[in-house]
Structure 1
Amino acid sequence: MTWLELADDTPFGLDNLPYGAFSVGGVPERRIGVPVGEHVLDLTAAAAETAAAFAPLLTSGVLNPLLAASPGTWREVRERLRDWLTEPRYADQLRKHLVPQGEVTTHLAFEVADYVDFYSSEHHALNASEIFRPDAAELPPNWKHLPIGYHGRAGTVFASGTPVVRPRGQRKPRSADAPSFGPSRLLDIEAEVGFVVGAPSTVGTPVSTEDFADHVFGVCLVNDWSARDLQAWESQPLGPFLAKSFATSVSPWIVPLAALDHARVEGPKQDPEPFDYLRTTENWGLDLALEIRLNGHLVSSPPFATQYWTAPQQLAHLTINGASLRTGDLYASGTVTGPERDQRGSLLELSWGGREPFELPDGQTRTFLEDGDEVVISGTAPGPGGARIGFGEVRGKVLPSPG
């Protein structure tokens, strides 16, 4: 029960309580907030008002000080939040710190330390292989032995709503004799799930799969924008560089792991059995339902539970060589794709490499993104009692190349 008036179907009920950064009315000061129903609770002000011991962690306008605290502090903040919102004695004290969601501007919730992106959907990997090598489609020989990934660019991780400028670079279609330079002609999206690191680790000490929840604070949605023509030319023999580093968008609210207990499912069967450091005893597959909308039209609904490699395995692989975690590290799942046509997590797959244009409900067709297109990725997870846990949206609109 709560003293707030919350709709039964709200994605931001008391079982969610995600965290983000926001401002109001053009004032530059950023606050830490928690969406509850149709409002955002100014957590910075609420903690100060109640003289909470953790109030100093909420004054910098980003989540990093809270992220760096221990999991015990994370639990304490969540417990206090639930007390504040359920006990009527706090109603008069906190009601003034509730801001309608329509009046807030959200920002990047945390300062990103490092960014790593994985390639962990077997359906996506097989689709990509068949698109590029139709006569010899197969997974890379290492794919089922380790979570493949690349190190991205933290400085171009952007808040939801930040426009994405069409990147320029070199591209060389297979039919061309020589490369050319100019704006990407094959601009794409990748619907992904991101994991935000809180507590750091020590250089030289790998983090085990069992210690996942001691280091990862929460989960967000990610759009890993991709220039497929730049990627094809530069990935010979190394991996993505300019094709990925121009923009990565993240959703504004970080859903804590504690809110996802009802979404946890057994991970997929893995064959061959992975090395010891990648084995897990806890179920950390996540039953998340994503939706991709292009210019307001639903074009795909990828299921995250189909991922082959889980978040704890990715974290263990990320650190097995002795690399350390830093507060604010972000790592993403890679494109989320299911087995069905309407579960593909990229336009590369939806248009089958551009060879099969798909039609939107308004009669337009697409292969890859055009200038002015807006992509919105949203997601939910099961909560207690049939409720849904909401992640909000990660939104981005394509602007033309300046050159």
Structure 2
Amino acid sequence: MPKPLLAPGSWAEAKRFSEILRKETVGGLLLLFAATVALAWANSPWSAGYHELSELVVGPESLHLNLSLGAWAADGVLAIFFFVVGVELKREFVAGDLRDPARAALPIAAAVGGMLFPAAIFIAINLVAGHPDYVDGWAVPIATDIAFALAVLAVLGAHLPSALRTFLLTLAVVDDLLAIIVIAVFFTDHLALGPLALALIPGGLFVLSVQRGVRRWWVLLPLAVATWGLVHASGIHATVAGVLLGFAVPVLGRHASAESFEHSLRPVSAGFAVPVFAFFAAGVTVGGWGGLGDALTHPVTIGVIAGLVIGKPLGVWVTAFLLAKFTHARLDDDLAWRDVLGVALLAGIGFTVSLLIGELAFGYGTVTSDDVKIGVLAGSVAAGGLAAVVLVSRNGAYRRIQERETRDADNDGVPDVYEA
């Protein structure tokens, strides 16, 4: 009999995911708070103060690091988030459930589908509207913001089956990898080989240090900052440096430190880096109801909303359904396809990476990037609302599933479903 799709993974992975979910949920609430403050300030009588703060330039000009605070948030602080993403990706593919090709197939396929569908919808809408110049924003609706998505789950309750929660988190991890590749390949305007070559020196020393078990921050931090600065100067978006350095952290063996790094830096990422970026990225002045109405009818805004609300969920759900159909797999007995739809709708909540790609595609502070922000915010709220309708309607079934798993637990504290 084929192994069911979305069956529970290993008990060790389930416990680790539970810890990640708690931290990311708190981070999502902080992200929501930061974005709300930014929106309120940007649309208040004191909005000029918000924009002056965002555009305040600091940093050494001699090192080409005289950036605005908004750019520092996107290029600098967000590198912490991408470093954690790099560590998490490596853990998943080296020691997590994704090392099993059969188990990895579904989230990888769903993430690819969740990228292709919204991109196609965005491109189609802007071409039909006669604006091929806006097609550069095709990648805006491809990313899922796991912190925001998990914050929605926290509000809905704790009765979602563990397999679905794991699927959402794993999907978001693969989704981040695809978004990183997109940023590196499609949003590098120029490439300076000199700084990029020099980046290999501190980057190589960082790799050598962590591979030999060095964990002292006063050794690793200067090497990481130097690598980041040189990659930034090369023209490649500097957050890519964060991911590559995260990939260097060993997961297995005598000097394995991925878990330690992740444990130390995830609170910094979720509690500081992402909310700071959200504060500077989400503050768009809509100019009253008239301005909001104009923005909502702009092809870019419509494309982003349609991509997130329709394309992203459709890509995830259709891909999962086709994988089941053509591999003759089946859903786990405790789940239904409408459960997958609820999680697919949650995948339409885009924020951090979507806003970053919007700035890369259209420039920081431009009118079009403001339309992107409105589209991301509106689309994420709509996707979250639709997901809530679907998942709340299944809340009773989730509760019964959870109660049955609890009854299956034996004296070792591990539910029998993980010991099968």
More helix by share: 2
Q: Same fold, TM exceeding 0.5?
A: no
TM-score normalised per structure 1: 0.25
Greater relative contact order (CA < 8 Å, ≥ 6 in sequence): 2
TM-score normalised per structure 2: 0.25
